[in-house]
């Protein structure tokens, strides 16, 4: 069996914006450290969009890989990190 990395993107979904007047927000904080093990649905970061805080959750189980630091500007669809999981394939 050969190990393969499965990577799932953590993105700021467009539905978090109520309007398109200010199509940017920023990462308020990461709730876990880079490399932390997470389960699907675990809160991993908060983003501030149009004066509202939103929690982003892990879309999969695996190891958190932070791509953008706190205070980074984000727009709809921005990937801010990923979940990396080792799987074995034949």
What would the pLDDT profile of 23-78 be if each residue is shown by its tens digit? 789 999 999 999 999 999 999 999 999 889 999 999 999 999 999 999 999 999 99
Domains of the chain by residue range: 2-89
CA gyration radius, the chain: 14
11 Cβ contact list (under 8 Å, min separation 6): 77, 78, 79, 80
Instruction: Please compute the mean of the pLDDT values over residues 74-89 and round it to a whole number.
Output: 92
**Is the Cβ–Cβ distance between 43 and 57 less than 8 Å?**
yes
Between 30 and 17, residue with greater pLDDT? 30
Q: Is residue 56 within 8 Å of 31, Cβ to Cβ?
A: no
CATH architecture of the domain 2-89 equals Beta Barrel (2.40)
pLDDT at 2: 82
pTM score of the predicted model: 0.88
Is the confidence at residue 20, as pLDDT, over 70? no
């Amino acid at each position: 069996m050969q190990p393969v990395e499965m990577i799932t993107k953590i993105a700021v979904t467009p539905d978090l914006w109520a309007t398109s007047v200010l199509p940017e927000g920023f990462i308020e904080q990461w709730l876990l450290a880079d490399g932390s093990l997470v389960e699907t649905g675990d809160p991993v970061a908060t983003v501030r969009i149009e004066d509202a805080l939103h929690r982003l959750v892990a879309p999969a189980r695996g190891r958190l890989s932070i791509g953008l630091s706190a205070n980074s500007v984000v727009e709809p669809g921005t990937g801010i990190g990923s979940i990396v999981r080792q799987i074995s394939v034949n």
